[in-house]
């Protein structure tokens, strides 16, 4: 199966990425694809949260353990398969891409389809839509100048005004009504 994720930012209205990958891929593959599509340093701490329809954080999937003793039961990106959590269209995830400033992308599964012979010609994961510039990644040395009261920061409450509607001309051959 091929899973298509739509990624948006609460900071940049014109930012959107669509990333497709095999359902047998790991969350590490999705993380690296997001980082690559945004031109980010992939070595910074990040995590995914499985989310409900109201963007409440559920299970956390982390890049690496900081304290193996207290994080024995955490899920690691390299070990968690996409199909473990992305089983339905509309499944939501929060991706914390700037761990220290707690800035996030909001991700939704917008399609799941069977792979076909044409897919074998492509190298997955693949970014199929890239519009707008991503929010700037903040490094630790930038933290001393960080304005946490800036209107650029978006709270979960602001998400009601954001849309995952398919307003983009992405005639990609997906059957957007397919469910597992």
In the chain, the domains with their CATH numbers are 2-161 (3.10.290.30)
Give residue 145's Cα distance to chain centre: 27
In this predicted structure, which of 41-50, 70-79, 164-173 has the lowest mean pLDDT?
A: 164-173
Q: What residues does 81 pair with on adjacent strands? A: 26
Please state the pTM of the whole predicted model. 0.76
Collect all residues with Cβ–Cβ distance below 8 Å to 126 and sequence separation of at least 6: 19, 20, 21, 33
4 pLDDT above the threshold of 50: yes
Residue 9, SS3 per DSSP? strand
Tell the burial category of 128 from Cβ atoms under 10 Å away from its Cβ (0-12, 13-18, 19+).
middle
Distances in whole angstroms, Cα of residue 96 to Cα of each of 15, 62, 136, 167, 174: 16, 10, 13, 25, 28
């Amino acid at each position: 199966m091929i899973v298509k994720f739509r990624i948006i930012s609460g900071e940049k209205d014109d930012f959107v990425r669509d990333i497709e990958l095999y359902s047998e891929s790991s969350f590490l593959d999705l993380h690296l694809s997001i980082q690559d599509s945004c031109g980010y340093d992939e070595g910074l701490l990040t995590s995914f949260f499985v989310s409900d329809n109201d963007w409440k954080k559920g299970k956390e999937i982390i890049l690496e353990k900081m304290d193996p003793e207290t994080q024995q039961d955490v899920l690691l990106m390299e070990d968690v398969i996409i199909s473990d959590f992305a089983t339905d269209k509309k499944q939501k995830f929060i991706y914390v891409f700037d761990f220290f400033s707690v800035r996030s992308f909001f991700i939704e599964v917008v399609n799941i389809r069977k792979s076909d012979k044409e897919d074998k010609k492509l190298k997955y994961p693949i970014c199929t839509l890239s519009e707008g510039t991503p929010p700037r990644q903040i490094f630790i040395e930038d933290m001393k100048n960080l304005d946490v009261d800036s209107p650029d920061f978006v709270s979960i409450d602001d998400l009601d005004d954001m849309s995952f509607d398919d307003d983009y001309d992405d005639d990609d051959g997906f059957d957007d009504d397919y469910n597992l």
